[in-house]
Amino acid sequence: MSRNKIIPGVDSRLLIKDAGRLMPDPMRRNFLRGAASLGALTMLTGCDIIDGPTAENVLRKISEFNDGVQAAIFQQNKLAPTYKEGDITRPFPFNAYYSEDEAPVVDPNTWKLEISGLVENKKPWTLDELHALPEVSQITRLVCVEGWSVIGSWQGAVLSDFLKRIGADTRAKYVWFKCAEGYTNTIDMPTALHPQTQMTFKFDNKLLPRAYGFPMRIRMPTKLGFKQPKYVVAMEVTNTDKGGYWEDQGYNWFSGL
């Protein structure tokens, strides 16, 4: 399948996009604008009523409207379909905005999960402590924003149980994650409390390998792949939307499935 061309690395367009990220901020904005106005030009050749920035602004507003629509149709107790052992995609792809040999190497002996924000107990958690939490398992589909999908098997602790355990204010709007490679992501509280949202420590019943986010990833079968943090180092319960790595570049914020 032609999908193989895509999974090992990153879509070439995303790669260019990523190069754009390395640019200083004002330049980056122009870069984004360039992409949007290219679209506007394709659509409205010879027409300058809708220029790039205006079109981009309108599109962003509609994307925010779509966040609201998605939050409204999100059913907190509707479970994502689960699959059988034999349905698991093997080999399961590595996928990130960097190559596999650039993936973070985390020392499990010094790693701690930092907790902050609207939480009663902010004590950092060691990996051993987290591994001692009650384990659940899921075989679910991971859907990439690019369109392809894979089925994987993940084991770990239910995030909503953990949030209750640390005394998190679950009336807060968001949970924010920070990761070892610099990736960040903000998710809505209803998704954080979804019964299948998991703090994942194992893939296919084996300790999470480096490629899949060791020592901990967040698995949400109700969100697109790009919203799922790997190599998590910190978690914050907050009422402030701190955005996220991909969302800040123009991907839809909610990106629910």
Partner 1 sequence: MTDGATTAEAMGERRPARTIHPAWVRICHWINAIAILMMIGSGWQIYNASPLFDFVFPSEISLGGWLAGALLWHFAAMWLLVVNGIVYVALGIVTGRFRRKLLPITPRDLAADTKAALTFKLLHDDLSHYNAIQKLLYVGIILTGIVIVLSGVSIWKPVQVQELTAFFGGYDTARYVHFCAMATIVAFLVIHVTLALIVPRSLRAIVVGK
By CB under 8 A, name the binding residues for partner 1: 2-3, 6, 11, 13-14, 16-17, 34-39, 42-43, 56, 58-60, 62-63, 66, 73-75, 78, 80-81, 141, 143-149, 221-222, 246, 249-252, 256-257
Q: Residue 156 or residue 221: which is nearer to partner 1 going by CB? A: 221
Give Cα separations from 195 to 104, 151, 175, 182, 192 (angstroms).
28, 18, 15, 27, 8
User: Min. distance of Cβ 69 from partner 1 in angstroms?
Assistant: 9
For residue 168, the 8-state DSSP code is B
**Both structure tokens of 42:** 């394709």
Q: Residue 16 or residue 207: which is nearer to partner 1 going by CB? A: 16
User: Min. distance of Cβ 186 from partner 1 in angstroms?
Assistant: 17
Q: Residue 140 or residue 238: which is nearer to partner 1 going by CB? A: 140
CB atoms near residue 28 (< 10 Å): 16
Q: Residue 19 or residue 207: which is nearer to partner 1 going by CB? A: 19
Q: Residue 63 or residue 116: which is nearer to partner 1 going by CB? A: 63
Q: Could you give the dihedral angle defined by the CA atoms of residues 103, 109, 114 and 120, in that order, rounded to the nearest 10 degrees?
A: 150
User: Min. distance of Cβ 97 from partner 1 in angstroms?
Assistant: 12
For residue 96, the 8-state DSSP code is S
User: Min. distance of Cβ 1 from partner 1 in angstroms?
Assistant: 9
Which residues lie below 8 Å from residue 123, measured CB to CB, with a gap of 6+? 115
User: Min. distance of Cβ 5 from partner 1 in angstroms?
Assistant: 8
Q: What angle do CA 136, 96, 253 make, to 5 degrees?
A: 75
